[in-house]
Amino acid sequence: MTVTRFAPSPTGWLHIGNLRTALFNYLIARKTGGQFILRLDDTDRERSKAEYVDGIKADLDWLGLHWDRIERQSDRLGRYAEMGDSLRAAGRFYECFETPTELDLKRKKQLNMGKPPVYDRAALALDDDAREKLRAEGRQGYWRFRLDLQRIEWTDGILGDLSIDAASVSDPVLIRADGQVLYTFASSVDDMDMGITHVVRGADHVTNTATQIQIIRAMGGTAPAFAHHSLLTGPQGEALSKRLGTLSLRDLRAQGVAREALLSLMARLGSSQPVALRADLDEIAEGFDLAQFGAAPTKFDAADLWPLTRAHVQALPLDAVADRLRDLGVPTEIAPAFWAVARENIDRLDDLTDWWALCRDGATPEIAPEDTDFVAQALTLLPPPPYGPQAWADWTAAVKAATGRKGKGLFMPLRKALTGRGHGPEMGALMPLLQRVRALEDRLA
Ligand code: GLU
């Protein structure tokens, strides 16, 4: 059975890049009838926050990316310690004492000599006495994994055949001096223990993958199949990392972006398939194929979410918006007519608020100076609301007869006088929904 996981660290809100990872893993499980695990990578106790855990769950819930199981790394510290002991016993963990400053100095020297800045394994040469001495000096040891200096090869689900020479990578630090288990280790133990079969994550993890394959094998496990999706850039190819904070899922949701728009875009963006609005996750899963995604950075433009959101909301049946209309205060009897009129004039459901306010409260009239007399004359021909379906046709015919105006010069000033704006629904359909006409009230006041 396929088992995938989405493994965010609860140290911030989920953003659009995280969504891509979550969605790909979710879709693989869904397509194959497998399991999708939400794994919280929360070994960093200082930065992990309960509010972010809640936020992650709320975002995934909203998107409909339901997980079969939730796992928290903080619940598994005993297991990591156990695996750490066994790797230590097998000679794959070794204790190091260099400070960050010392390591930095080593790196600079290597770079100056034109060498890759790979950890020189000096600590491997320490004997028990030397280690004791360092501890006596007050240094605390931390643990690195000794890589096998071979080529690490795998067939990546997106990038194809990859190979990384372990000699070009520093032995990773897996346990810090304060005992904190680092992500690379915890993730390897989890992927093995939880029977993860497929891992999709960002291309920034390619080097981690090489080391994790070795760590999992050293523990006697089988590495999952890996796939690395490209990273997102802004529309001009600029790095998105600094802007991701403003592209959090909760912000996009608060702006009124539809979940269907987000899912439809992110499930296809960067692939050879066209982006189109798809109704639900079944339709999105159908035709989803990792192999169709490219290695090149993927340009993401948040503006692309709006046409999809618009297409989605405009296609909604009355049923789907009935609660929302009720919350807005639209009386049930006129909800169908209001929805029919408003739907084509909204980009997102939140825009309904303004259209309903217009119907209920009327609008501050917009009257150009050169139209003042014309509008004043026209208003003498308009009875107060309520209006029937013929009201607009009757009124404009009467105004036309009285003033001789026609076409745009007739209709536009009247529209603006009644609605305060130059665009919007068919006036014939809108007028029966107008409960107040401020321009009339102003005239009569
Ligand atoms: N917590 C890691 C991250 O958010 C998980 C990476 C992975 O999928 O292994 O980058």
Same domain? 221 vs 96:
yes
48 within some domain: no
DSSP, residue by residue, 92-127 = -EEEE---HHHHHHHHHHHHHTT-------GGGG--
- For ligand 1, residues with CB inside 6 Å are 7-9, 41, 183, 187, 201, 205
Residue of the CA atom closest to atom 10 of ligand 1: 8
Instruction: Indicate if 241 and 350 belong to the same structural domain.
Output: no
Give 14-29 pLDDT, tens digit per residue.
999 999 999 999 999 9
Total domains, the chain? 3
Q: For residue 405, how many other CB atoms are within 10 A of its CB?
A: 18
Same domain, 337 and 302: no
Contacts 24+ apart (CB under 8 A), 405-412: 405/374
Co-location of 190 and 254 in the same domain:
no
Element spanning 227, H or E: strand 225-229
Boundary-marking domain end, from 314, 342, 376? 314
Looking at the predicted structure, is the pLDDT value of residue 242 above 80?
no
Q: Tell me the whole-structure pTM to 2 decimals.
A: 0.91
Confidence of residue 239 (pLDDT cuts 50, 70, 90): confident
Q: pLDDT > 70: what percent of the chain?
A: 100
Q: Give every CB contact of residue 361 below 8 A, 6+ residues apart in sequence.
A: 435, 436, 438
Read off the amino acid at residue 341.
V
Q: What is the CA(208)–ligand 1 centre distance, in A?
A: 10
Same domain as 434, residue 384: yes
pLDDT score of 374: 97
Of all protein residues, whose CA lies closest to atom 4 belonging to ligand 1?
8
Q: Are residues 345 and 421 in the same domain?
A: yes
Flag whether pLDDT at 267 surpasses 70. yes
User: In the numeric block, which tokens belong to residue 375?
Assistant: 């509008």
Place of tokens 């001495």: 133
Nearest CA to ligand 1 atom 6: 7
Residue 81 phi, psi (nearest 5): -65, -40
Q: Is 297 inside a domain boundary?
A: yes
Q: What percent of the chain has pLDDT over 90?
A: 96
Asked if the model's pLDDT at residue 116 lies above 70, the reply is yes
Predicted confidence at residue 246, as pLDDT, reads 72
Of the candidates 189, 205, 229, which is a domain's last residue? 229
Whether the per-residue pLDDT at 241 is higher than 90: the answer is no
What number does the ligand 1 atom closest to the CA of 9 have?
1
pLDDT digits (tens, 9 = 90+) for 346-377: 999 999 999 999 999 999 999 999 999 999 99
AA letter at 255: Q
pLDDT bin (cut points 50, 70, 90) of residue 261 is very high
Same domain, 82 and 221: yes
Q: Has residue 270 got a pLDDT over 80?
A: yes
- 33 in a structural domain: no
Q: Which atom of ligand 1 is nearest to the CA of 201?
A: 8
**Residues 241 and 355 both lie in one domain:** no
pLDDT at residue 243 tops 80: no
| Ligand 1 pocket, mutate which of 201, 206, 216, 226 (most atoms under 8 A from CB) | 201
Closest ligand 1 atom, CA of 208? 9
Which protein residue's CA is at the shortest distance from atom 5 of ligand 1? 7
Q: Please state the atom number of ligand 1 nearest to the C-alpha of residue 200.
A: 8
Domain extent, residue 119, equals 68-229
344 and 374 in a common domain: yes
**142-184: pLDDT as tens digits:** 999 999 999 999 999 999 999 999 999 999 999 999 999 999 9
Show contacts of 333-340: CB within 8 Å, 24+ apart.
Answer: 334/433, 337/429, 337/432, 337/433, 338/433, 340/429
* 424 in any annotated domain: yes
Mean pLDDT, the chain, as a whole number? Answer: 96
Question: For the domain that residue 156 is a member of, what is the CATH number?
Answer: 3.40.50.620
Residue 118 placed within a domain: yes
Q: Which among 229, 260, 293 is the end of a domain?
A: 229
Q: Are residues 308 and 346 in the same domain?
A: no
Q: What is the mean pLDDT of residues 184-193?
A: 98
Length of the chain: 445
Residue 41 lies in a domain: no
96 and 181 assigned to the same domain: yes
Atom of ligand 1 nearest to the CA of 199: 8
Tell me, yes or no, whether 84 and 207 share the same domain. yes
- Looking at ligand 1, which residue's alpha carbon is closest to its atom 3? 8
